[in-house]
Amino acid sequence: MRNKTASAAIWVLASLGVMAACSNGGEDDACKANLLSGDLVITEIMANPEGTDEGREWFEIYNATTAPIDLEGVKLIASRADGTADLMHVMRSISIEPGQYLVCGGVIEDVKPAYVDYAYGADLGSLRNTGGRLSLECGDNVVDRIVYSEVDEGYSWGFDGSQVPDAAANDDLGAWCNAEVEYISGAYGTPGSSNDACEGTLPPTRCMEGEVERDVLGPNPGDVVITEFMPNPQAVGDTDGEWFEVFFANDVDLNGLQMGKVAGTVDNMVASRDCIPVSAGSFLIFARSDDPLVNGGLPEVAWTVGFALSNTSDSLFVGYGGQVLDALSYSGSGTGASTSLDPGMMNVTDNDNPDFWCEADIPYGSGDMGTPGEGNSSCGIVPPGQCYGLDGELRTKVPPVAGELLITELMANPDGTDTGQEWFEILVLADHPVDLGGLQVGRVVPSVETQLSIADCLQVAAGDYVLLAQDGDNLVNGGLPEVDIVYDGLTLYNSGESMGLFIGLDDAVFDAVTYATPGGASWALDPAHNDIIENDDLGLWCESEVAYGSGGSGSPGEANPSCGIVPEGQCLVSGVPRDKVEPVAGDLVITEFMANPNAAPDTTAEWFEVYVGRDVDLNGLQIGRTGVDQTLPEGECLRMTAGSYAVFAVSDVSAENGNLPRVDAVMDFSLSNSGGGLYVGYGDVELDSLTYAAAWVGDGVSIALDPDFMSPAGNDLLENWCDGSTAYGDGDLGSPGAANAQCL
């Protein structure tokens, strides 16, 4: 906060200074130079330093002409935003060169800091923090004037450094922003030099070449390529020695080039009034420091940047006018060695491939490895169409084609941690060995997130179940058997709508699946459905129940166990599918039911019986009270032979159900004692139903159909039913699973 007592004293001194300056009159306050509007431009102001303001305020002036200017007689005027309460200082003789900056500070000459060129003492008082006005006047001419709003403490307010300083353009407050460079401890600004580019500003369209203003020759897509980067120097610290290199394929101007870490988010922009031409074929260095005594002995640095590169994984981009011209991501770096692009791959497509990069092995400067500012050494890139076999020799690659690779199993949600324990499995459907080198893998088509080594063949045989895992060490990966291929850069989702996996080559998708994520168990395709089309059906996958390693479930690297999945229209006999015999109208008749047992509770001892008139399978049979409450499961065939009676009970445990002779299927609904109904159907077609009243229901007695009326029509009449009379199990009366006695 400003010291009020000190401020008051300075205001008094300022008033006296203004009176003295005004009292000179005549020729003494005339400008030595005949300045016109726009000859000088106010480009930066520090109105609110952190802590006390006195002695630390300053503003910056730019010479927009092509000749030196003697500023003697120029009036510096500070006031409120509306022009009232103005204070003035008449400048002494000092020269400012064309295209140069001069910093005026509110200090006395004897104690001015190194970044201040001219001291105006206390004549202007304290610059206003909540908004004010600054003017440069020569006689009656206003050479430049700005009105500023409230400024942030500790930050200078600067005109966009990507634009040529202009007395008209700087009237737009939207072209001003806070500085990002710390020039002294706790204070940010660029006194005496070009300002930071303001985020979101357009690139400059004009620049000065000598004394001539011309159009900026901006780069186009393909003109710039990131070719080398040093995130982890050893000869000097990261803060001083980090750098990256950009190759320019065509003649361009560097003015307005944008760069940063996240594509589209500009961290730095090349901002200069003077044109910075770059010749085709040039390699330019962008570094944290341009001092070779500090940066590890780099050759000439084209531009300094304020952002740091991570040593482990990070990204980098260069752009122009908001358009990304080149971008790359990396997952690690060497210590004391740059990562450099193979010189045969210098384009914005090939430099996306990590296999085309390698660690530099040529020393520079203070001893780190790299080729900053010049062409890179070869990385020994494999010729197109070839790969290295296990014997280390180059041979012709045999890539798979569509239909030859199938995703059959994956572990997305291992117990404990996902890190290092995720894996997936590919079945080779080809009838010959193929090479998986260069295989692309991702989660959401078409976003490739990792690619297997292009240089290595990675041959697999026909019929192989290939195990790909995050880690090859079975002490880390959850005890996997031998891993065929280790991948990185891919973590499978455990939840959400994007739970998918795809594989492909050269941006063509070979197979893609969606999956569920059982905890600690793999998601496995039924081996009867190893097909590119069928593995798209989630219903043909299941949670693996086979244990492996240190507690997970799955069959990594081998054929999956059956999921017990039954093809449509079939059921299983000892695991072998056969065609199902589906019941039709007239095949099934409801013949008996127990709604109110006495020997055991209703909740466990209720049942009903259906007569089967033809050999049928009950899989998929629909049963209920007044409609479908339950559908019997598919799977093992529920065969009933002609003339048999099927018993449906709420429990198949003899001790709970009144000791029924047998139960053919468990029902998951109860029967009403006060009147209700029963329903049997198939494929949403009713086969039989009945409705009964409370008066039908006895205590511990079934209601049985007279065997002379066993048809879907005959069991609709009350007079064709009577109480069961034969004791069964624990003493209730009825004939579950057997023919009924005739009603008297």
**For residue 575, pLDDT beyond 80:** no
Give the C-alpha separation, 40 to 143, whole Å: 6
* Number of domain units in the chain: 4
Residues 193 and 217 in one domain: no
Q: Evaluate whether residue 183 is within a structural domain.
A: yes
Q: Which pLDDT score, from 0 to 100, does residue 419 have?
A: 81
pLDDT in tens, 91-101: 999 999 998 99
Which residue's entry shows tokens 């049985």? Answer: 704
pLDDT recorded at residue 25: 35
- Same domain? For 400 and 275 the reply is no
Peptide bond into 446 cis (omega under 30): yes
139: left (phi over 0), alpha (psi -120 to 50) or beta: left
Asked if 602 and 478 sit in the same domain, the reply is no
Q: Two tokens at 140? A: 């009656």
Are 425 and 549 within one domain? yes
| Top-confidence residue, 48 or 180 | 48
What pLDDT was estimated at residue 201? 57
Q: Which tens digit of pLDDT belongs to each residue from 696-733?
A: 999 999 999 999 999 999 999 999 999 999 999 999 99
> Residue 40 pLDDT > 90, yes or no?
yes
Share of the chain above pLDDT 90, in %: 73
Give Cα separations from 206 to 100, 212, 215 (angstroms): 17, 10, 4
3-state secondary structure 112-129: CCCCCCEECCCCCCCCCC
CA-nearest of 566, 484, 483, 554 to 524 is 554
Q: In this structure, are 532 and 621 located in the same domain?
A: no
User: Do 197 and 221 reside in the same domain of the chain?
Assistant: no
Spacing of C-alpha 593 from chain mean position: 60
* Residue 720 confidence (pLDDT): 96
Residue-wise pLDDT for 442-483, tens only, equals 999 999 999 999 889 999 999 999 999 999 999 999 999 999
Q: Let me know whether 314 and 245 are in one domain.
A: yes
207 part of a folded domain: no
Mean pLDDT over each residue of the chain, to the nearest integer: 90
Q: Residue 66 belongs to a domain with what CATH number?
A: 2.60.40.1260
Which tens digit of pLDDT belongs to each residue from 245-283? 999 999 999 988 999 998 878 878 887 778 999 999 999
Q: What is the pLDDT of residue 675?
A: 92
Tell me the sheet residues that pair with 703: 593, 723
Whether residue 2 has pLDDT greater than 60: no
What pLDDT, on a 0 to 100 scale, did the predictor assign at position 712?
A: 96
Res. 329: pLDDT tops 80: yes
**pLDDT (0 to 100) of residue 327:** 95
Residue 574 lies in a domain: no
Check the CA dihedral 96-102-106-111 and report its sign.
negative
For residue 16, the model assigns a pLDDT of 31
The mean pLDDT value for 198-211 works out to: 74
CA–CA dist 401, 114 (Å, integer): 69
| Whole-number pLDDT of residue 4 | 26
Same domain, 540 and 638: no
Residue 571 maps to a domain: no
Structure tokens at 296: 């590890």
Asked whether residue 330 falls in the same domain as residue 422, the answer is no
Torsion sign (Cα): 696, 701, 707, 713 = positive
- In 376-499 the beta strands, taken as DSSP E runs, fall at 386-388, 394-396, 405-411, 423-428, 434-435, 440-442, 448-451, 459-460, 465-469, 485-486
- HEC string of 324-358 equals EEEEEEECCCCCCECEEECHHHCCCCHHHCHHHEE
Structural domain boundaries enclosing 335: 213-359
pLDDT at position 380: 76
Confidence of residue 206 (pLDDT cuts 50, 70, 90): confident
Are residues 491 and 444 part of one domain? yes
Average pLDDT (67-85) is 94
Confidence of residue 565 (pLDDT cuts 50, 70, 90): confident
Cα–Cα dist 121/89, whole Å: 9
Q: What pLDDT band is residue 694 in, cutting at 50, 70 and 90? A: very high
Q: Is position 544 within any domain?
A: yes
Question: What is the total residue count of the chain?
Answer: 744
Lowest mean pLDDT across 133-147, 194-208, 555-569, 666-680: 194-208
pLDDT at position 560: 95
* CA dist., res. 537 & res. 706, Å (int): 48
Residue 150 to residues 2, 45, 147, Cα–Cα distance (Å): 15, 12, 10
Letter string b/e over residues 543-567, b meaning 16 or more CB atoms within 10 A of that residue's CB: bbeeebbeebbbbbbeebeebebbe
Strand 434-435 relative to strand 547-548: parallel, antiparallel, unpaired? Answer: unpaired
Domain CATH number, residue 345: 2.60.40
Question: Do 355 and 406 belong together in one domain?
Answer: no
pLDDT of residue 29: 57
Distance CA 371, CA 363 (A): 8
Q: Within a domain: residue 385?
A: no
Pairing type for strands 357-359 and 141-149 reads unpaired
* pLDDT level of residue 53 (50, 70, 90 thresholds): confident
At residue 174, does pLDDT exceed 80? Answer: no
User: Among 359, 385, 405, which residue terminates a domain?
Assistant: 359
Q: Say whether both 544 and 586 belong to one domain.
A: no
The whole-angstrom separation of Cα 64 and Cα 66 is 7
Does pLDDT of 13 surpass 80? no
Question: Average pLDDT for residues 210-231, to the nearest whole number?
Answer: 93
Judge whether residue 6 has pLDDT over 50.
no
Tell whether 370 is covered by a domain: no
pLDDT at 611: 98
Convert the pLDDT of each residue in 485-527 to its tens digit.
999 989 999 887 678 999 999 999 999 999 988 889 999 999 9
According to DSSP, the residues that pair with 645 across neighbouring strands are 611
Look at residue 26 and tell me whether its pLDDT is greater than 70: no
Is the per-residue pLDDT at 7 higher than 50? no
Task: At 577, give phi and psi (nearest 5°).
Answer: -75, 145
pLDDT (0 to 100) of residue 5: 26
Is 151 within the bounds of a domain?
yes
